[in-house]
Amino acid sequence: MDLNLKGRRALVCGSSQGMGLAIAQELSEMGANVTLFARNEASLREALNTLAPGDHDYLVADFDDLEAVKEAVDIGLKKDIYQILINNSGGPAPGPLADSSLSDFDTAMKRHLHVSHSLVQMLLPGMKESNYGRIVNIISTSVKVPIPGLGVSNTVRGAMASWAKTLANELGQYGVTVNNILPGFINTARIESLVAGKSKKQGKSEAEVEEEMKQTIPAGRFGEPSEIAAYAGLLCSKSGAYINGTSLRIDGGRTGSI
């Protein structure tokens, strides 16, 4: 299996912590030069020190500000082209779909679909030039089965999956693959927030809520960011060249669909 990414440059969004950071670390271990991308510069500086040796750097922008994102990436493109793009950003706030405002959808669509699409358009010329491109979107298992209490997220994640499949059909001819990773319950700040929210709403301790959530998972535990990162690495590698247009669930078997 060829997992060598030496000479490739990767832009990893949301990489100051959690799954994004784990993916950045994995890609650096595989030999890629990594550009971390998030809004907190102090956290990015710390994250940079956790990468394997290489020509790594970081970009700073808030993903709720599309123009700032574009300006930051323009700076990165003056240094090098990117063959790898990891689209990853924080999910929308939980809540019933019927209670969500139109502005909730606007914010979520801009943060996810608009930013991801803009990044693809900016990085695609370099991928075509290299005849090598890997676009990996970190989405959610809600693409397969909507998750109760995450109405806006379910809606936007579904749109992302459809967008990605369409791109995969269009870009495969250029040596560019587009795939989605659908994480289940992973040990990140996001899952901590969901546990805390359920605890408050249900009047139960966080430990009780966490245990109930784990009981819905055949594996009996939450996943680790490194387990997401391992499959992201495969999708970005030469060995992943014939995997295109897929949505890969990494959820311990929790999602109730084939």
Q: What is the mean pLDDT of the chain?
A: 96
Predicted pLDDT at 145: 96
Predicted pLDDT at 109: 96
Q: Residues with Cβ < 8 Å from 178, sequence gap 6 or more?
A: 135, 137, 164, 165, 167, 168, 171, 244, 245
Predicted pLDDT at 21: 98
Phi, psi of 78 (to 5 degrees): -70, -20
Q: Has residue 28 got a pLDDT over 90?
A: yes
Predicted pLDDT at 201: 86
Domains of the chain plus CATH, in order, are 9-186+226-250 (3.40.50.720), 188-222 (no CATH)
Contact, 183 vs 147, CB < 8 A?
A: no
Predicted pLDDT at 194: 83
Closest by CA to 170, choosing from 137, 122, 130, 121, is 121
pLDDT tens string 83-119: 999 999 988 888 899 999 999 999 999 999 999 999 9
pLDDT-based confidence at residue 35 (cuts at 50, 70, 90) = very high
Predicted pLDDT at 93: 85
Predicted pLDDT at 193: 85
Predicted pLDDT at 171: 98
Q: Residues with Cβ < 8 Å from 181, sequence gap 6 or more?
A: 136, 137, 138, 139, 228, 231, 232, 235, 247, 248, 250
Rounded Cα gap, residues 155 and 143, in angstroms: 9
